[in-house]
A and B are shown apart, each in its own frame.
Chain A
Amino acid sequence: MDLGKHAVFIWASYAVVGVVVSSLIAWLIVEGRRYARQLRELEARGVRRRSQKENAE
């Protein structure tokens, strides 16, 4: 595809958009998994929030 003599700028623009957006998505996914895992571990240990404990007792 001939993008003219300024092709490198066009590729660079789309590349930087790709990198930033993918990094954002990756960060969101990784953090989501991390918190979900921590939540599972805490609940497995039987930790409850105060309000839940009161309801249970």
Chain B
Amino acid sequence: MAFSRIAMPTLSVLAAVVLAVGFYLAFFVSPEDYQQGQTVKIMYVHVPSAWLAMMGYGFIALSSFGLLVFRHPLADVSAKAAVPIGAAFTFLALVTGSLWGKPMWGTYWVWDARLTSVLILFFLYLGLMALRSSMDDEVTAGKLTAILALVGVVILPFIKISVEGLTIPWLGIEIPSWNTLHQPSSVLRAGGPKIHPSILIPLLVNALGFTLLFFAMHLKSMRNEILRRRVRALTMAEVQRAQAFEAEILAE
């Protein structure tokens, strides 16, 4: 807790500063993309959100591993705290992706391979949240959610491969992406501009800023969870004391 007392405010301030710089770069410095015009600016929030959606899940898997294998006392708190934040960024990736897609492709939702795998990632987050809230026993719920997170992280690469395809030329591997198999006539270009330095720098700055924001929120969420557990433990102790007192009185 002491660590987070210093770390969280520092991270928050850092995140705010970096994001301020990032947004300034995005709106005042970044040029138009010659293909997409100004809508490339959406990329500065979409790509970091998608990156955090993935990183968030990986972080949850890591925490879950720490819980099940090393029984680290904070691992369950870390995993539980990260889920809503990761899910929020996944949601943002989907919404900004959809808003980016409308001017680019004409419709609000397109089964672009990468957007589709983010949608499935969102379902994985929903599964974690649903499982944890389905059980009253918090300890068991934590352990079972950890198993689900690990299963998810093992299957996630295969989901991404089956939806987005995989090309490793020097190994001779070429797995086509799922949507090209069904629509050979209208080839959906894997949307994404060619990364030019004047676009890359704002992108990286925003990505860094959002990542710092993620961890700042995560630390705060962990603190809240620890406080919640303390309140719960004290409340239960109070109830037990009252019950013991009552029993004493009745015995006399």
Contact = CB atoms under 8 A, between A and B. Distances in A.
Of listed A3, A28, A38, A47, residue having the most chain B CB within 10 A: A28
A21 B227 contact: no
Interface string B207-231: 0000001000100110110011011
Given A13-B45, A45-B238, A28 B99 contact: no
Given A4-B32, A13-B96, A20-B91, A32 B223 contact: yes
Contact-residue bracket for chain B = 35 or more
A9 B220 contact: no
Contact-residue bracket for chain A = 20 to 34
Interface in A17-57: 17, 20-21, 24-25, 28-29, 31-32, 35-36, 38-39, 42-43, 45, 47-50
Contacts of B223: 32
B162 interface: no
Interface stretch (B36-44, B114-122, B176-184): B36-44
A24 B210 CA distance: 13
Nearest to B38: A4
B227 A39 contact: yes
Chain B binding site: helix, strand, loop or mixed by DSSP?
Answer: helix
A54 to B, nearest CB: 12
Nearest to B102: A9
Contacts of B105: none
Contacts of A14: 45
B234 A17 contact: no
Contacts, number: 90
B95 A16 contact: yes
Interface in B149-185: none
Nearest to B89: A20
Nearest to B103: A6
B221 A47 contact: no
Contact of B234 (A10, A16, A29, A39): A39
Contact of B38 (A6, A17, A43): A6
Interface of B: 27, 32, 37-39, 41-42, 45-46, 49, 84-85, 88, 91-92, 95-96, 99-100, 102-103, 213, 217, 220-221, 223-224, 227-228, 230-231, 233-235, 237-238, 241
Given A6-B39, A13-B45, 8 more contacts: A4-B37, A9-B42, A13-B99, A24-B84, A24-B88, A38-B231, A43-B234, A48-B234
